[in-house]
Amino acid sequence: MTDIVLPFLKWAGGKRWLASNSEFKIPQISGRYIEPFLGSGSIFFSTQPKDAVLSDVNSELIDTYLSLRDEHEKVSRHLKLHARSHSKSHYYYVRDEMKPRSTAGRAARFLYLNRTCWNGLYRVNLKGKFNVPKGTKSNVIMETDDFEAVSRILQKARLLCCDFEAVIDQAQSGDFIYADPPYTVHHNMNGFIKYNEILFSWEDQKRLRFALARASERGVKFLLSNADHASVHELYSDVASIKIVNRASVISGDRDARGTTTELLVSN
C-alpha cells in the first residue's frame, strides 16, 4: 500500500491533472524512475517508484526537497513561524531581506514564498533574486501537508541539481524517464520572445529530443509531456509515438468558463 501524497508546491506547468488522467500510464519499470524536470513532482508522488533519480536545474527547489527529506520537522517549525507572521510586510521582508542561515530555514522560506506569492510562480531577476509579488492566497500551512510522508517517500530518491542532459545521458537499459520540460515551441520569428523561451529555448528542446533518442537506443523507455504544436510533432515524428491528451482549462481567468486544451504525450 502506498500513501496518497500530493505535491507540496504549486508549480507552473505542474502535472497534477495528468496524474489523474485515464490516458496517462507509466510502463512496468525494471530499473530506475528518472525525472529530470522535477518541479513539484506530481508524477513522482502519484507513482512513488521504489528507486528514483529526481533532478531540476533550480537549486533552491532541490535544496528544499533535500531538507524535507532529511529534516522535515525543522522545516515545519520554521514554516509555522511564517504562518503566524504572514502579512504583506512579512512577505516582502522574507522575499527581499531574509537570508536564513540553516538549510531548514531556507526550505521554509522557499515554501512560504511559493504558497503566498502570485500564482505560485517562480521567477528571478537578472541577479537571481526571486521577484514575484505577493499573491491573494494566505494559507501557509495546507490541510494536505504531510511532510513526514513526503520525507519517507523521498528516502528512496537520489536528488540532483543539474541540467537535464547530464541525467538523461546516464540512464541505462531498463530505466524509465518521465520528462516534462517548460513548454516552448519553434517560434514564428516575430521577434517577440516569451519568458519561457529565455529559460528554455528551442535549442534546448532539440537537445532534449537528441538526448531522449540516444537513451532510447540504449534501451531506456521514456514518456515526454509537451505542447501540442506542429513544431513539436515534427521534432519527434521519427523517434517516438505521439498521443494528444485533453486537459480541462479555465478560460481567461474566469472559473465558470471552462474549456479544453490539448497537450502531447510522446513515448518510445
Ligand X SMILES: C[S@@+](CC[C@H](N)C(=O)[O-])C[C@H]1O[C@@H](n2cnc3c(N)ncnc32)[C@H](O)[C@@H]1O
Site residues (CB under 6 A) for ligand X? 11, 13-15, 36-37, 39-40, 42, 56-58, 163-164, 180-182, 199-200, 204
Query: What are phi and psi for residue 125, nearest 5 degrees?
Result: -85, -175
The nearest distance, CB 134 to ligand X, in angstroms, is 22
The nearest distance, CB 90 to ligand X, in angstroms, is 26
The nearest distance, CB 256 to ligand X, in angstroms, is 26
Burial of 84 (0-12, 13-18, 19+ CB in 10 A): exposed
Q: How far is CA 73 from CA 8, 77, 101, 113, 244, in A?
A: 15, 6, 17, 19, 42
Cα 205 from Cα 10, distance rounded (Å): 24
**In this complex, which beta carbon is closest to ligand X, that of residue 14 or of residue 105?**
14
Strands of the sheet with 221-227, listed across from one edge: 157-161, 52-56, 33-35, 176-179, 221-227, 258-267, 241-250
The nearest distance, CB 88 to ligand X, in angstroms, is 27
**In this complex, which beta carbon is closest to ligand X, that of residue 65 or of residue 200?**
200
**In this complex, which beta carbon is closest to ligand X, that of residue 10 or of residue 86?**
10
**In this complex, which beta carbon is closest to ligand X, that of residue 39 or of residue 105?**
39
The nearest distance, CB 186 to ligand X, in angstroms, is 17
CA angle 94, 97, 99 (to 5 degrees): 80
**In this complex, which beta carbon is closest to ligand X, that of residue 86 or of residue 114?**
114
